[in-house]
Structure 1
Amino acid sequence: MAVRTRTPRTFHRAAASLAALTLAAGLSAGCAADDEEPGSGKGGEGKTTITVGVFGVFGLKEAGLYKEYEKANPNIVIKQNSIERVDQYYPGLLTHLASGSGLSDIQAVEVNNINEVVSQHADKFEDLGKAPGVKKDNFLSWKWDQATADGKTIGLGTDIGPMGICYRKDLFKKAGLPTDREEVGKLWAGDWEKYIDAGADYMKKAPAGTAFVDSGASIYNGASSGYETRYYDESGKVIYKDSEGVQASWNLAMDAIKGKMTAKYKQFTPQWDQGYANGKFATVSCPPWMLGYIKDKAGKKADDQWDVAQAPKPGNWGGSFLTVPSAGKNKKEAAKLAAWLTAPEQQAKLFEKQGSFPSSQAAFELPAVADAKHTYFDDAPIGKIFADAAKSIPTLVLGPKDQPILQQITDIGILQVEQQGKSPDEGWKAAEKKIDDLLEQ
């Protein structure tokens, strides 16, 4: 089953503020913008209006799920309120939570913000673990745990970003590396060090003007996402300076830079986009939502040149949750809608139509996911590849400042080494200073 490509929500992710475009077929840039005021309550003629606050093109509306629910529930009208960027959306959500007003009946929360919401604002949300129709076993355990504390689950997972490695078959062939996705996956199976070894082999016969990987940030983000602890420990203590996951992933990125394996791009910039268009690098760490981005930027001339293999180790990059604020006007109906939108069948539809990979493990067995292939990536069985990865992702310990810590490491530390010629020690100290200043604010 081929997956069509749309544009998902705008993500504010690891390497930079970015517009993450999805996987399926005719990419439509831009974001939904709805003018309906939150909390309007009655929708006229005895109908109840449920408002849904999201960021970017979240996909629920675009996939037709709201209309489907309204058809099955004639007394319900759904109005979506969308803000383009999550880094603009989330501060507003915190402001409305503090005042107890201006909230939508359902509010989306991005994974990089869920820990702060759970640890500091859980009392302002309904316990969706007790909502009608919600089955904990439908969800991946690590996804469920991210929105749960002290037995209260305030968010139901929508999508996730299990990691793969996207690679150029034509460049691999010219460099004397295998091109079959199964054989490529075996090159680095189980160990990111093997990925670096494959990079060294690639560079020995690299086609002129190409590098093995787009950036050191790609390696760091891919590797670090597979560790349970990175920036915080389970008690909430900041541990990034002594974290095994951070240091091991940093060292991998430094090894790649030292070996001249990276194309030195900053991800999600025009220069990076041109790198795709001009075939300047052979691999990139990619979750499902990245596939549509690659298709759009690499274009028709690279059709059937890209493929996707398993990552060295399972990791996650991206994903969101639906929550129901306790200050909302329609909590009961909102909880029912949130449960329905995140049920396996709806998550499978969202994947098929928008490319958002399900956080519901029950959805993995449905044909829309299990049989999914991506024509641009040589009919790669993306449903199976990413489902296999998702099942083994560890429960990542999250903290309130995960996103900005990660961004300082990639955008300050790694880029100074990669683009400015600083030593690894100088790059790390520059990132460390920025992080410490940020944490003291």
Structure 2
Amino acid sequence: MRPFRTRRTATAAAATVLATGLLVTGCGSGGGSADAAGGKVTLTVDLFGTFGFKEAGLYEEYTQLHPNVTIKQTDTQDEGQYWQTLQTKLAGGGGLADIQGLEVGRVASVVRNQADKFTDLGSLGIGGVNDGLVPWKGAAVKTADGKVLGAGTDIGPEAICFRTDLFKAAGLPTDRAELAAKWSTWQGYLELGRSYVGKAQPGNAWTDSAAGMFTAEVGQQKVRYADEGGKAVHDSNPAVKNAWQDSVTLVTDGLSAKLPQWTPEWNKAFTTGKFATLSCPAWMIGYIKGQAGQAASGTWDVAPGPGRTGNWGGSYLTVPKTAKHPKEAAQLIAWLTAKEQQAKLFTKQGSFPSSTGAQAEIKSVTDPYFNNAPIGEIFSESAANMPAQVLGTEDGVIGKAFTDALGEVERTGTAPATAWQHALDNIKKAAGN
């Protein structure tokens, strides 16, 4: 991506905060409340996947503006593992960071069942932190009595990332517009995959896993696992069943590399050429760069995906009730999620902004790593068509149950009907039924 590392003065940073309605005590002088008291503060940040704050230089910039603040980040690549650990810490009341990340599939559960575990950002002076975002982003973390439990970061408009070198070797086109036309539907994507594996080197699959395709296809639906009244519909929704069947076809036609996502072998495959395409929400851009490294620059590209829409992922930043430095944490959250920082994150890492102001600024962004792909244009189109998804309290649990079951089909040869039933049984167990 084009460099976007401009250093702003503390005065400019304060103006930004004022302009977005996020005035926080001490920002105008270049320091937080602890700075005013002359104290040193170490803020702990616990995240999953690749949010990109560190990689984009935002922590470095913030600590230059706030020299009495040190930021220490911990990461868990697998969001499922992160969520389990977070639940353990919330139950025990200890070990939580000043700032905890939260995936969109978990927010309904937190808002309805664990609101008392997180600090209302309004009580910390940043109640309007989500005012400049797409409306549904802020609404998802607002309780019935008006508490704001998180600050929105990115959203996950979808595309397809692909390996140009592997496509050329298999005699497939690499023109983005031509590919977008060929895989304008998921059936087209499967058909082109069958053509690819018929010409590719043995051991080189069309895509990484059925889980990736399933999650992307389901992510194109407004109603997925729960309807607008909160009723569970995961077992009857035709859209979920269609995504399941398409993903099973991917496996039975030999198009999957059968790699569990977020595992070491999956990460390694970004450099070995074991798969040629990847269902690719915007945040995956930064993940690919981190795993494939600079040596792979120019071998990857991006094209609009089936349906030219979808939403996979997106996150929030929260302050647990047990945070040691809640006010300073709120100041950092407000700054990280402001329009300017969201635009930088996309330009540097591919994390697509939920800020409407930032969205307006990044439409012309291209990415040299991905053959100068017009990622601003591609992901902006996907975001414009994106449904405002209905979020259920068990979305994260249900999605994982289905992708785990598809892993059974891929890696143990379980019959699809049996695996489907396993998913439904595991969902019932998780709900205590």
The reply to whether TM is greater than 0.5 is: yes
Question: What is the CA–CA distance in structure 1 between the aligned matches of 2:70 and 2:181, rounded to whole Å?
Answer: 47
- Matches of residues 41-190 of structure 1 in structure 2 within 5 Å? 42=34, 45-46=37-38, 49=41, 51=43, 53-55=45-47, 58-60=51-53, 63-65=56-58, 68-69=61-62, 77-80=68-71, 82-85=73-76, 90=83, 106-122=99-115, 124-126=118-120, 128=122, 134=128, 138-150=132-144, 152-189=147-184
Contact 1:129 1:153 in 2 (8 A): no
Alpha-carbon distance, 1:60 to partner:
3.6
- From 421, 425, 430, give the equivalent of 1:433: 425
Match of 2:2 in 1: 2
Which of 387, 392, 396 is 1:399 aligned to? Answer: 392
Offset at residue 269 of structure 1 (A): 3.0
Contact in 1 for aligned 2:284/2:350 (Cα 8 Å): no
User: What SS does structure 2 have at the residue aligned with 1:241?
Assistant: coil
Out of 354, 370, 374, the residue aligned to residue 359 of structure 1 is 354
Alpha-carbon distance in 1 for matches of 2:177, 2:136: 27
Taking the aligned partners of 2:81 and 2:265, their CA distance within structure 1 comes to 25
Letter in 2 for 1:391: A
Instruction: Answer yes or no: is 1:280 the counterpart of 2:274.
Output: yes
Q: Quick check: 2:46–2:97 contact (8 Å CA) kept in 1?
A: no
Amino acid at match of 1:182: A
Question: Shift of residue 155 of structure 1?
Answer: 1.8
Distance 1:312 1:183 in 2: 13
Residue segments in structure 1 that go unaligned for 5+ positions in a row: 6-39
For this pair of structures, how many residues does the alignment match? Answer: 401
Aligned counterpart, 2:367: 374
Residues 260 and 73 (structure 1), Cα distance of their counterparts in 2 relative to 1, 3 Å cut: closer
Encode CA deviations 1:169-210: one digit per residue, 9 max, x unaligned.
Answer: 233344443211121112122x32222232233344444443
Deviation at 1:89, TM superposition (A): 5.7
d(CA) in 1 for partners of 2:65, 2:264: 44
Which residue pairs with 1:253 in the alignment?
247
Summarize the Cα distance change of 1:100–1:301 in structure 2 as closer, same or farther, 3 Å threshold. Answer: closer
Does the residue aligned with 1:153 lie in a helix, a strand or coil? coil
Matched residue of 2:235: which SS? helix
CA distance in 1, matches of 2:263, 2:121: 39
Task: Choose the corresponding residue for 1:422, options 411, 414, 420.
Answer: 414
Structure 2 equivalent of residue 233 of structure 1:
227
Q: Distance in 2 between matches of 1:271 and 1:132?
A: 41
Contact 2:33 2:328 in 1 (8 A): no
Q: What CA distance in whole angstroms lies between the structure 2 residues aligned with 1:268 and 1:350? A: 21
SS at match of 2:114: helix
Partner amino acid, structure 2, of 1:54: D
SS in structure 2 opposite 1:119? Answer: helix
Q: Secondary structure at the match of 1:317?
A: strand
Secondary structure class of the residue paired with 2:101: strand
Cα distance change, pair 414–88 in 1 and its aligned pair in 2 (3 A): closer
Matched, 1:344 2:339: yes
Match of 1:223 among 214, 217, 226: 217
8 Å CA contact retained: 1:163, 1:222 = yes
CA deviation profile, 1:229-278 (whole Å, cap 9, x unmatched): 22222333332111223211101111222222222222233433454433
SS of 1:148 mapped into structure 2: coil
User: What secondary structure does 1:252 align onto?
Assistant: helix
Gaps of 5+ in 2: 6-31
Deviation of the 1:342 alpha carbon? 1.3
CA distance 1:387–1:78, change in 2 (3 Å): farther
Change (3 A) 1:332 1:271: closer
- For residue 263 of structure 2, what is the aligned residue in structure 1? 269
Quote the residue 1:201 is aligned against.
Answer: 195
Give the letter for the 1:219 counterpart. M
Q: Tell me by how many angstroms 1:47 deviates.
A: 5.2
Q: Could you tell me how far apart the structure 2 residues matched to 1:113 and 1:290 are?
A: 19
Q: Is the partner of 1:242 in helix, strand or coil?
A: coil
Asked if the contact 1:158/1:322 (under 8 Å) is kept, the reply is yes
Preserved contact between residue 53 and residue 59 of structure 2 (Cα < 8 Å):
yes
Letter in 2 for 1:402: D
Deviation at 1:311, TM superposition (A): 1.5
Distance 1:132 1:258, change over 3 A: closer
Could you tell me the TM-score, scaled by structure 1's length? 0.77
Give, in whole Å, the separation in 2 of the partners of 1:134 and 1:209: 51
CA RMSD after TM alignment: 3.6
Identical pairs, percent: 42
SS in 2 for 1:163: strand
- Decide which moves more: 379-388 or 77-86: 77-86
Q: Does 1:307 align with 2:301?
A: yes
